[in-house]
């Protein structure tokens, strides 16, 4: 109570107008509209926080699954092969951000089994070094990744690729490369039979349906190379990949091309960012509509309180003080709405793994079908900078909505307002 007594009278009046509403039907109606505006702001803030958290969760999960197969950084030699790859690994590992390195060679071709043809990216790797840069060895569901032996011409297929080829462990598939070889009959595609010794599942449809692994020596023979095509690196922090890629390009010798994972998937990440941006704009409009409902609320309040305004003016209140009263009233509604929305949004975002299954069980539905999505649970990744930005946006919009009504209130003329009182 002592704090309330020490407040300026503009705050006292603004607080009283915010919580008033039991003396008459008109005051009750104005307070009801004010509560609706507050609830609208809170609902918009909560919806934006929840949706962005879910989208961040999906992005984080898909990125993690992509990088379980992809390298954080790839390094190529301009000559097309890297004979000194061991020395280059030593040079790359000097950077403290690099925790794994492995050579590779990659080829695009067609996998053929009986009358079935499927396009595929076939990557030649060393089974003992590949686990330092990817998780494919641990993702092998059937067979063994370690069975990729030089000269054995074994192959590990993605689970969807194996399913589309109707291939099981021990079956033969033929790899045909576009790089042809000249024969008396003309140029024929380069072909080689491989034995399926493993089937992996990365949880990402693009890789599960189009990626296969062979031993690096076998890939070099198919490509007619005398050395690996380049190196694949794994970093301590994948988010520093662009910076580390530039550092490696400066520190390593040779005519090298260095690419990070964000460049390899630039189109996908750009599409995700555009989707998030558009969704943020759409949901921000909900907050804007709720915030600008305050305009009508404050206009009704000003109309109802003209006699009070006139009395305050006759007692010496300045137009600026009158304006401040209604700015305080509207800003309090916006701040309370934003706080309620932030609390509700954060609570739901942090417990979405419990809330969504409860709703699915209650309604007897499944939001993410296991037959379509590799993960049937709704992920969530709450990021506090997003929460602060959304809450701040709601408060700013609410403050802007108070400017016109409060300015109108400051221009009320006491004589005209009291004429019919």
- Average pLDDT for runs of 10 along the chain of length 421: 58 66 54 80 90 87 80 88 91 92 92 90 93 90 90 93 92 85 61 93 85 94 90 90 90 88 77 81 81 78 74 75 81 88 93 84 73 66 90 88 81 63 56
Query: N- to C-terminal Cα distance for the chain?
Result: 33
Q: What angle do CA 64, 68, 71 make, to 5 degrees?
A: 105
Burial degree of 95 (CB within 10 A; 0-12, 13-18, 19+): middle
Task: State CA 165 to chain mean position distance.
Answer: 34
Name 288's bridge partners.
none
Q: Which domain-ending residue is among 237, 261, 285?
A: 261
Q: In which domain, by residue range, is 56 found? A: 2-64+269-417
- pTM here? 0.73
Q: Which domain-ending residue is among 227, 261, 295?
A: 261
Q: Are residues 251 and 297 in the same domain?
A: no
* Residue 22: predicted pLDDT: 46
Q: Are residues 92 and 57 in the same domain?
A: no
Burial degree of 61 (CB within 10 A; 0-12, 13-18, 19+): middle
Q: Are residues 354 and 214 in the same domain?
A: no
* Residue 14: predicted pLDDT: 66
State the CB neighbour count (10 A cutoff) for residue 242: 15
Q: Are residues 93 and 37 in the same domain?
A: no
Q: Are residues 22 and 92 in the same domain?
A: no
Q: Are residues 243 and 164 in the same domain?
A: yes
Q: Are residues 95 and 233 in the same domain?
A: yes
* Residue 85: predicted pLDDT: 92
Q: Are residues 316 and 370 in the same domain?
A: yes
CA separation for the pair 308, 282 (Å, rounded): 40
Q: Which domain-ending residue is among 239, 261, 283?
A: 261
CB 159 within 8 A of CB 170: no
Q: Are residues 169 and 51 in the same domain?
A: no
Q: Are residues 12 and 121 in the same domain?
A: no
Burial degree of 299 (CB within 10 A; 0-12, 13-18, 19+): middle
Q: Are residues 156 and 288 in the same domain?
A: no
Quote the number of domains for the chain.
2
CB 222 within 8 A of CB 177: yes
CB 325 within 8 A of CB 311: no
DSSP letters for 210-239: TEEEEEHHHHHHHHT-SS-SEEEEEES-GG
């Amino acid at each position: 109570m002592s704090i309330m007594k020490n407040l300026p009278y503009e705050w006292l009046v603004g607080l009283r107008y915010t919580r008033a509403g039991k003396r008459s039907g008109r005051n009750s109606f104005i307070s009801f509209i004010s509560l609706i505006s507050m609830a609208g702001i809170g609902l918009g803030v909560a919806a934006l926080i929840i949706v962005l958290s879910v989208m961040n969760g999906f992005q984080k999960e898909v990125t993690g699954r992509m990088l379980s197969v992809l390298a954080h950084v790839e390094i190529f030699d301009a000559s097309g092969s890297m004979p000194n790859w061991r020395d280059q690994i030593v040079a790359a590992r000097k950077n403290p951000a690099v925790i794994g390195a492995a050579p590779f060679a990659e080829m695009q071709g067609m996998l053929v089994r009986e009358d079935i043809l499927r396009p595929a990216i076939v990557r030649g790797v060393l089974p003992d070094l590949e686990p330092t840069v990817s998780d494919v060895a641990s993702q092998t569901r059937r067979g063994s990744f370690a069975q990729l032996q030089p000269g054995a011409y074994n192959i590990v297929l993605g689970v969807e690729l194996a399913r589309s080829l109707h291939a099981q462990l021990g079956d033969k598939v033929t790899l045909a490369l576009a790089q042809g070889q000249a024969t008396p009959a003309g140029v024929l595609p380069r072909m080689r039979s491989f034995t399926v010794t493993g089937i992996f599942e990365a949880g990402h449809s693009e890789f599960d349906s189009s990626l296969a692994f062979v031993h690096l020596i076998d890939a070099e023979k198919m490509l007619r190379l005398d050395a690996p095509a380049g190196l694949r690196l794994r970093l301590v922090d994948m988010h520093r990949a662009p910076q580390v890629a530039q550092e490696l390009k400066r520190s390593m010798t040779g005519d090298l091309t260095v690419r990070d994972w964000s460049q390899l998937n630039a189109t996908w990440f750009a599409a995700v960012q555009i989707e998030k941006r558009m969704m943020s704009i759409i949901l921000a409009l909900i907050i804007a509509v709720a915030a600008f409902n305050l305009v009508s609320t404050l206009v009704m309040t000003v109309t109802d309180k003209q006699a009070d305004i006139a009395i305050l003016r006759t007692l010496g209140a300045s137009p600026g003080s009158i304006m401040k009263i209604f700015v305080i009233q509207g800003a309090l509604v916006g701040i309370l709405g934003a706080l309620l929305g932030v609390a509700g949004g954060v609570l739901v975002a942090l417990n979405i793994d419990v809330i969504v299954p409860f709703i699915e069980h209650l309604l007897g539905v499944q939001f993410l079908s296991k037959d379509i999505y590799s993960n049937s649970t709704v992920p969530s990744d709450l990021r506090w900078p997003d929460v602060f930005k959304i809450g701040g946006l709601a408060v700013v919009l609410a403050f802007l909505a108070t400017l016109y009504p409060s300015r109108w209130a400051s221009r009320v003329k006491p004589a005209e307002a009291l004429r019919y009182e």
